């Protein structure tokens, strides 16, 4: 080729390539901004399927939903079993304070909590003694839990977040609140440590001593927000009460008012069930054995919809693949997306 023609030809080719690449990028940006499917995906996954606890029917429903959505977009996807998990299905939780007055309490059973077996538990609620001297004194007290609902969590001195205190309290009162809060928690922690038991061991000890149920509160330091994880009991229910309702029952018990609760906690044990990762693929023709990897865990805890952790990441990966399939269907390298299972219990799906 004439050298005088080579450079213009290369420049023309290069500019055409850059223009084509720019066009793809422009289309991707336009699609993301003007035809986003994120809201629809969020509705289907978070509102309709809902929470996705490993071992539950909802987790498998979520796996299958992801595969179907990818198939609708012409993207190859499949469920890959990585192991087995304890199968469990959440039912209704309902708790009423029935004495010394009537009030329906805000309550939810923990994941994998045993059921009340179709018959509500009506029992007095008690608290741990606040003067435990050592493990021996705790063991002497332990028979008192038989047939009782036992409150085992720290009772917050206020259900208001610190930001709210800072905004509305005087400076002196806010500082006093923070100091009292720290000291109160330290006192509770020191007392609990004297039992000689860790959290899981305490739940087992109460269960083995004949307690009717374990009642907790795991407040997230925000208005109306709790962390709800897994139960440490195997035979009796573990139920979380909201910070305000837990405080009410705690104070009634502490002051000798003998609060009585009516507890319904329904659930089903499903035995060992298979558990899956869902993997989607955009296959490259140029370099099929070189990979670009995207991922987000699909599972969640099940007291809420799992939107932040990690439904948002899940639908972002799916929307990314939808747009790439539409405007970049022949990638230079194979693009894989892993929707992992059981991240919440120790990165199990992604490790597999």
At residue 75, the pLDDT reads 98
Q: Which of 258, 289, 314 finishes a domain?
A: 258
Residues 113 and 225 in one domain: yes
| Rounded Cα distance, 234 and 347, in Å | 24
pLDDT tens for 116-152 read 999 999 999 999 999 899 999 999 999 999 999 999 9
Name the band, by pLDDT with cuts 50, 70 and 90, for residue 21.
Answer: confident
DSSP assignment of 215-284 equals: EE--EEEETTEE---B---SSS-EEEEPHHHHHHHHHHHHTT---EEEEEEEEEEEEEEEEEEEEEEE--
Domain boundary residue among 258, 286, 318?
258
Residue 266 falls within a domain, yes or no?
Answer: no
Contact present, 50 and 90 (Cβ < 8 Å) = no
Cβ atoms of 51 and 304 within 8 Å: the answer is: yes
Handedness of CA 34, 39, 40, 45 (dihedral sign): positive
153 with 288, same domain?
A: no
Question: Average pLDDT, stretch 312-326?
Answer: 97
Q: 281: which strand partners?
A: 76, 336
DSSP H stretches of helix in the chain: 3-34, 38-42, 57-72, 135-141, 162-168, 171-193, 199-208, 243-254, 312-327, 348-351
Q: State the pTM of this model.
A: 0.89
Total number of domains constituting the chain: 2
Please check whether residues 198 and 322 belong to one and the same domain: no
Integer Cα distance of 259 and 149 in angstroms? 10
Count CB-CB contacts under 10 A for residue 255. Answer: 9
- State the pLDDT confidence band at 200, using cuts at 50, 70 and 90: confident
pLDDT at 11 over 70: no
The residue range of the domain holding 44 is: 37-87+272-351
Rounded to whole angstroms, the Cα distance separating 344 from 313 reads 14
pLDDT tens, residue by residue, 40-88: 999 999 999 999 999 999 999 999 999 999 999 999 999 999 999 999 9
């Amino acid at each position: 080729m004439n050298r005088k023609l080579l450079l213009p030809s290369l420049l023309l080719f290069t500019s055409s390539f850059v223009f084509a690449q720019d066009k793809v990028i422009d289309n991707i940006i336009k699609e993301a901004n003007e035809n986003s499917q994120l809201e629809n995906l969020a509705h289907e996954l978070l509102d309709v399927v809902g929470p996705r606890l490993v071992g539950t029917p909802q987790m498998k429903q979520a796996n299958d939903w992801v595969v179907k959505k990818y198939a609708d977009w012409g993207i190859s996807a499949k469920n890959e079993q990585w192991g087995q998990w304890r199968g469990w299905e959440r039912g209704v939780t309902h708790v009423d304070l029935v004495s010394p007055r009537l009030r329906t309490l805000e309550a939810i059973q923990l994941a994998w909590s045993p059921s009340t077996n179709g018959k509500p538990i009506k029992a007095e609620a008690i608290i741990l003694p606040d003067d435990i001297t050592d493990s021996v004194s705790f063991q002497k007290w332990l028979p008192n839990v038989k047939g009782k609902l036992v409150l085992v969590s720290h009772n917050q001195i206020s259900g208001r977040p610190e930001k709210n205190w800072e905004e509305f309290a005087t400076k002196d009162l806010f500082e006093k609140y923070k100091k009292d809060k720290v000291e109160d928690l330290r006192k509770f922690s020191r007392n609990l440590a004297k039992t000689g038991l860790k959290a899981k061991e305490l739940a087992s000890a109460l269960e083995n001593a004949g307690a009717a149920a374990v009642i907790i509160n795991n407040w997230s330091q925000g208005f109306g927000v709790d962390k709800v994880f897994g139960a440490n009991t195997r035979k009796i229910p573990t139920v979380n009460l909201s910070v305000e309702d837990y405080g009410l029952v705690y104070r009634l018990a502490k002051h000798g008012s003998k609060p009585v609760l009516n507890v319904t906690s329904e659930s089903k044990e499903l035995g060992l069930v298979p558990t899956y990762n869902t993997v989607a693929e955009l296959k490259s023709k140029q370099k099929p054995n070189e990979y670009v990897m995207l991922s987000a865990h699909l599972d969640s805890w099940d007291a809420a919809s799992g939107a932040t952790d990690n439904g948002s990441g899940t639908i972002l990966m799916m929307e990314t693949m939808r747009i790439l399939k539409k405007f970049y269907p022949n990638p230079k390298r194979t693009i894989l997306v892993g929707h992992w299972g059981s991240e919440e219990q120790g990165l199990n799906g992604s490790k597999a």
